[in-house]
Structure 1
Amino acid sequence: MQEDTWLVIPLFDEAQVIEEVLREARAFFPHVVCVDDASHDASAERARAAGALVVQHPFNLGQGAALQTGMRYVLDATDAAYLVTFDADGQHRPADAAEMVQRAREEDLAIVFGSRFLDDRTHPGRLKKVVLKVAVWLTNQQTGMRLTDAHNGLRVIRRDAAQRLDLRQNRMAHATEIVLQLGRTRLPWAEHPVHVLYTDYSRGKGQSLMNSVNILVDTILK
C-alpha cells in the first residue's frame, strides 16, 4: 500500500464506472481525491461511497482545472510525498501506477510519465496512434522534452515538482502545459511503459478517437 501517495482523479460524468475504478485503485492507493467537475450524474456520490475524498467544482471548468484543484488540495491538506494523476474511466491500471511510484523512489525521480508506446501491450487503433504521435511531436517541439507519449494522463509527480505546477490551460491543452512546466523544473524524470485499456465503455463515449483529435487541435492552438 502506498501510504505516502495520493491519486488525483478528474471526474466528469463517470458514475457508471467510477466505483469499480476506485475499488481497484484503492487496493494499491488508499488515499484518493476525486475532483468532480460539475458532473450531471451521480459521479460524486458514487466516488464518496467508494472511499474517495471528493472536491466539487460548482460549474464545469475542464480537466486541466480539475487536476490543478486536486493537486492543490493534496499539497495544502496532506503531507504526501507523491501525487499520481489518474483517469476516471478505467483506462489506467493501478498496478502500473504503483510500479511508477516504486521506480520514482528507487531512482530518485521527481517525475515519471506513463507511456503506452514503450511496449506493444496497448492497441489504440491506427488512426488514433497517428494522431497521438503527431501530438507528441508537436509537444516535444514546444517543450524541448523528448517523450514518446506526451498526452498520457498517468503520471507520478513528486511533491517538490508538484509545488511548481500552476496549470492555466483548463481543457485538453493542459497536457502540453504540464509537460512544459515539469520540464522547466530541471528535476530528474523518466518514462515508464504502461498498458492503456481501451474499453467498450470508453470507446462508447467517443474517447478512442475524439479525445486524440481534441488533444491535437489544442496542442496546435496553444
Structure 2
Amino acid sequence: MTILIPSYEPDERLLSLIRDLKEVSDAPILIVDDGSGEAYRGIFESAKEAGCTVLTHPVNQGKGRALKTGFDYVRKHGDPDGVVCADSDGQHLPNDIMRISNAVVENRRRIVLGSRQFTGNVPLRSRFGNSATRMVYAAATGTAVQDTQTGLRGYSSDMLDWLSRVPGERFEYEMNMLLEAPAAGYEIVEVPIDTVYLEGNQSSHFRPLADSARIYWPFLKFCASSGFAAALDFVLLLLLQWATSNLLLSVVGARICSSIVNYSVNRRLVFARDGESAVRRSMPRYFTLVLLILLLNYAVLRLLHETAGLPLAAAKIVTEAALFAVSYAAQRKFVY
C-alpha cells in the first residue's frame, strides 16, 4: 500500500510524520512537492534521504493536481494494493493512516474516509466549514457523510483511472470526488480517526473564501440554473393561469417550457455531460424525473392553493423550495 502525501511549503512536521510512519510500517511513501520552491528544497531532500519518492511540480498547481500526479505515478508503477492519502502537517496520526490502509484491503472499490469526530478543541473555521460542506453534500446526494473534508482517504488500485478523471485541481477535487462517486458505482466507507488540530490549524493552506467557492461551485451552479428555471416557470404559471384559469394546464405548460431550458443548462454547464451518448442516457431519465416532480408539484400546489387557500404565488414558492433538494439529489444520482 503506497502512502501518498501531497505537500506545499511543509515544515519539520512532514519529516516527523515520515519517521513515525517508518516505525510502524514499511509501506512506500510517495510525496508530491506542489511547487513549494527553493526555500523548501532541504525538507524534500531529507525526505528522499529517508527513503521516500519525491515528485516535484515546478509551480503550485493545487492539491487536486498533486493527488492526480501521485495517482498517475502509482498506476504506472503498479502497486497492487492501492493508495492511502494523508496530509503533511501532522494532523493524521501514523496509527490512523495504517487503519485506513487495512480498511482499503477489506473494502475494495470503495472510498475509505478517515472521519474525524470533531470533539474537543476544534477551531471555529474548521468546525463551521465541515458542518457546511456536510450539509451541502447531504442535500446534494441524499447521503450523510460525517467528514467530507478529511484529507485521510484510501483507494484500491482499480480506482486510480477514475480518480485521475474526476474534475478539479485544488481543494474542490476531494469534494468533487465524493459527488462523482455514486454515479461511478463507488460506495463510501468511514473509519473514525482522532481529530488533531495543531496551533489552531494555522498551517493549513485552505483559503476560506476562494477555496470554499470552488468546493461549493457545483451546487451553486445548480442553484443558479434551478433559480432561472424556477423564475421562468413562475412567470409562465401566472400568465397561463391568467389566460386559462386552469391550474393543471398552467402547471403542465409552464413546467414543459422551463424543464427544456433547465435540462439544456444542467447537461452542458452544471453536470458537464455532453455528446450524443450522454443525451441518450440522460434525457429519458431527466424527463421521467420531470414528470414525477410535476405530479408532486401539482399535488402540493393544489393542496396549498385550492384546499388551504394560500395565494398562488406564495403556494408556488413554498412548493418549489420543498422540491429543490429532491430534484438536485435525483439529477446528481440518477440522471447525469
Structure 2 residue runs of 5 or longer lacking an equivalent are 219-336
Partner of 2:114, secondary structure, is: strand
1:105-184 aligned at under 5 Å gives the runs: 105-106=105-106, 108=108, 110-117=110-117, 120=119, 123-165=121-163, 166-184=165-183
Partner of 2:6, secondary structure, is: strand
Question: Which of 32, 36, 48 is the aligned partner of 1:39?
Answer: 36
Deviation track 1:55-101 (CA, whole Å, cap 9, x = no partner) reads: 11121101110000001100111233121011011111121121122
Q: CA deviation at 1:109?
A: 5.9
Deviation track 1:128-186 (CA, whole Å, cap 9, x = no partner) reads: 21221101221333345421111100011111222311243111111211212333332
Q: 1:213 to 1:195 in 2, by over 3 A?
A: farther
Query: 8 Å contact 1:9–1:87 — kept in the other structure?
Result: yes
Q: Percent identity?
A: 24
Question: Which of 2, 9, 16 is the aligned partner of 1:13?
Answer: 9
Partner residue in 2 for 1:197? 196
Q: What is the alpha-carbon root mean square deviation over aligned residues? A: 2.4
Q: 1:29 to 1:162 in 2, by over 3 A?
A: farther
Q: What is the distance in 1 between the residues matched to 2:105 and 2:209? A: 35
Q: CA deviation at 1:13?
A: 0.9
Query: 8 Å contact 1:111–1:190 — kept in the other structure?
Result: yes
Partner of 2:9, secondary structure, is: coil
1:101 equivalent to 2:98? Answer no
Query: 8 Å contact 1:111–1:188 — kept in the other structure?
Result: yes
Q: What is the distance in 2 between the residues matched to 1:146 and 1:32? A: 31
After the TM superposition, which of the residue ranges 69-78 and 107-116 deviates more from structure 2? Answer: 107-116
Judging by fraction of residues, say which structure has more strand: 1
Q: Give the TM-score taking structure 2 as reference length.
A: 0.58
Partner residue in 1 for 2:49? 49
Judging by fraction of residues, say which structure has more helix: 2
Q: CA deviation at 1:9?
A: 0.8
Query: 8 Å contact 1:132–1:212 — kept in the other structure?
Result: no
**What code does the residue aligned with 1:176 have?**
M
Partner of 2:5, secondary structure, is: strand
Q: What is the distance in 2 between the residues matched to 1:143 and 1:164? A: 19
Partner of 1:59, secondary structure, is: coil
After the TM superposition, which of the residue ranges 211-220 and 31-40 deviates more from structure 2? Answer: 211-220
Partner of 2:162, secondary structure, is: coil
Deviation track 1:21-75 (CA, whole Å, cap 9, x = no partner) reads: 1111233252011011111212321221222101111211011100000011001
Partner of 1:164, secondary structure, is: helix
Query: 8 Å contact 2:31–2:53 — kept in the other structure?
Result: yes
1:61 equivalent to 2:61? Answer yes
Query: 8 Å contact 2:105–2:156 — kept in the other structure?
Result: no
Q: What is the distance in 2 between the residues matched to 1:161 and 1:183? A: 13
1:77 equivalent to 2:77? Answer yes
Structure 1 residue runs of 5 or longer lacking an equivalent are none
Q: 1:108 to 1:62 in 2, by over 3 A?
A: closer
Partner residue in 2 for 1:22? 18
Q: What is the distance in 2 between the residues matched to 1:164 and 1:144? A: 22
Q: 1:213 to 1:145 in 2, by over 3 A?
A: farther
Q: What is the distance in 2 between the residues matched to 1:147 and 1:80? A: 28
Q: 1:46 to 1:102 in 2, by over 3 A?
A: same
After the TM superposition, which of the residue ranges 211-220 and 87-96 deviates more from structure 2? Answer: 211-220
Q: 1:90 to 1:107 in 2, by over 3 A?
A: same
The count of aligned residue pairs is 213
